[in-house]
Structure 1
Amino acid sequence: MTKARILAIDTCTESCSSALLCDGDIISQSQLAPREHAKLLLPMVQQLLADAQMSLSQLDAIAFGRGPGSFTGVRIGTATAQGLAFGADLPVLPISTLQALARQGYRLSGIEQQLAAIDARMNEMYLGAYRHLDGDMVAVAKERVCPPEHWREIIESAPATSDWYATGSGWNAYLATLGELPSNVTCHADDLFPLAEDMVALAEFAWARGEAVDAALAQPVYLRDTVTWKKLPGRE
């Protein structure tokens, strides 16, 4: 894999984080601080670059959590990535928050198949399913926003002997309503949120595949945007 220098940022959930990949090494910072992302993010980035004795212009690309997650958080991360990239004339790498969450679950559990879920409120979760493959996390089902019980559709389509690890805030938010989990599904005991250190590792694979895009083309992924508009009077 081509070695790259990539900065990653994420503000899509309650966690605010940044990470820097340089010559194969990752340094990172994170803080659980809802509603403070706009204040915390740029100082985090500046500190990482200072620690690595680098400038933005020495990077190859900027990765960012493109969602799903909180509407405000997704917008903050996308706009910040675009601003940094425009200023340094760099491309960007949009990374799924669910994919990053799945990589974190794999790091913690060693279980190759991950069910990543973020609490989407309104009795729904953002849900993705991934399989670990040579360091990368490959999607085995399309990301979706859905009622909590819909996760069963994913494992029912997989071999019965497959082990799964359930990771993320979506599980603990609705675990009481889901009943007993199958024996091949292990749920992480505490809430986990996507981290930039996982995003930057995934971004290295995306960079090698040539998936970097111009900053102007950076697009957030909300999954629920059409639902939100329909809740406004006169919007269909």
Structure 2
Amino acid sequence: MNVLAIDTATARCSVALCTGSGNGQRMQDSSGRHSSLILGMIRELLCNREMTLGDLDLVAVDVGPGSFTGLRVGVGIAQGLAYAAGLPVVGIGSLAALSGAYPQQTVIPALDARMNQVYWGVYRAGECIVQPHVDDPCRLESELASLSLPDTPMGIGNGWTAYPDSMPVELAGRPLEIRGEHLPEALQIAQLAASVGPAERVSPLGLEVAYVRNRVAEVMSGGAGTPES
């Protein structure tokens, strides 16, 4: 299966192309410049493999949670390309993509949601056991303690390093291993998308974005901080 994947959920954008003959990925730190970079990165990947959109079987994209503007850029491009080529699309969550880096472990992916909050969830061996939601960092310790996880999970994502004084450093007396350098990548999204069944593939116009935070405007009206960009 030939899968083109796009990730624009954070300040780093990436695109990946997974085919039967190998995988390729382009990645760049590009805060605020996703829309000016993504199409060129896609064109480069396809040209290097001497492929066109017509050679693809599927388009995959990070549907969040993440940057409000970034998600709209990535999803819009994925929808446009898939619609033009008559392809189905698959939306993969950013936290699921993060957890894909450690498919055999219990992980707590967390991304900086701005406004002194993080997007987080819990995944065990690739299965989501706590759905992605947004929370204050200081609340994670008590919420995680209530889960009675059987093993010591790993914390991954920049949410862990964005608020080091508020995020937990141990769970039930066991120190957490933190990998704060990880961000979602298009290659993980492509690999996850290739494994989903036909029922999870939708038409371009049927793609839904998991913003999670639905009250950004309301929070902003109270002067709480800067919205996701």
TM-score, normalised to structure 2, is 0.89
- Which position in structure 1 is the counterpart of 2:226? none
For structure 2, the 5+ residue unaligned runs are 222-229
Q: Distance in 1 between matches of 2:217 and 2:164?
A: 29
Q: How does 1:74-223 map to 2 (within 5 A)?
A: 74-104=71-101, 106=102, 112-132=105-125, 137-152=126-141, 153-159=143-149, 161-178=150-167, 180-182=169-171, 183-188=174-179, 190-206=180-196, 208=197, 210-223=199-212
User: Could you give the per-residue CA deviations for residues 19-68 of structure 1, whole angstroms, max 9, x where no partner exists?
Assistant: 11111632111111111111110111111111122111111110001011
- Which position in structure 2 is the counterpart of 1:67? 64
Q: Do residues 48 (structure 1) and 71 (structure 2) align?
A: no
Identity of aligned residues (%): 33
Alpha-carbon offset, residue 158 of structure 1: 3.0
The answer to whether the 8 Å contact 1:164/1:184 transfers is no
Aligned length: 219
Q: Distance in 1 between matches of 2:155 and 2:105?
A: 11
The answer to whether the 8 Å contact 2:57/2:87 transfers is yes
The answer to whether the 8 Å contact 1:8/1:200 transfers is yes
The answer to whether the 8 Å contact 1:114/1:130 transfers is yes
- Which position in structure 1 is the counterpart of 2:225? none
Could you say which structure has the higher helix fraction?
A: 1
Alpha-carbon offset, residue 232 of structure 1: 6.3
User: Could you give the per-residue CA deviations for residues 109-145 of structure 1, whole angstroms, max 9, x where no partner exists?
Assistant: xx6111000001111100011122xxxx210111100
Inter-CA distance 72–174: structure 2 relative to 1 (3 Å threshold): same
Instruction: Say what the alpha-carbon RMSD is for the aligned residues.
Output: 1.9
* SS of corresponding position for 1:54: coil
User: Could you give the per-residue CA deviations for residues 154-191 of structure 1, whole angstroms, max 9, x where no partner exists?
Assistant: 353134x5021101110001122235423252111x43
Runs of 4+ with deviation above 6 angstroms: none
User: Could you give the per-residue CA deviations for residues 197-217 of structure 1, whole angstroms, max 9, x where no partner exists?
Assistant: 1101111112x3531000011
Q: Distance in 2 between matches of 1:53 and 1:155?
A: 51
TM-score, normalised to structure 1, is 0.86
Q: Is 118-127 or 19-28 further displaced after alignment?
A: 19-28
Q: Distance in 2 between matches of 1:9 and 1:179?
A: 31
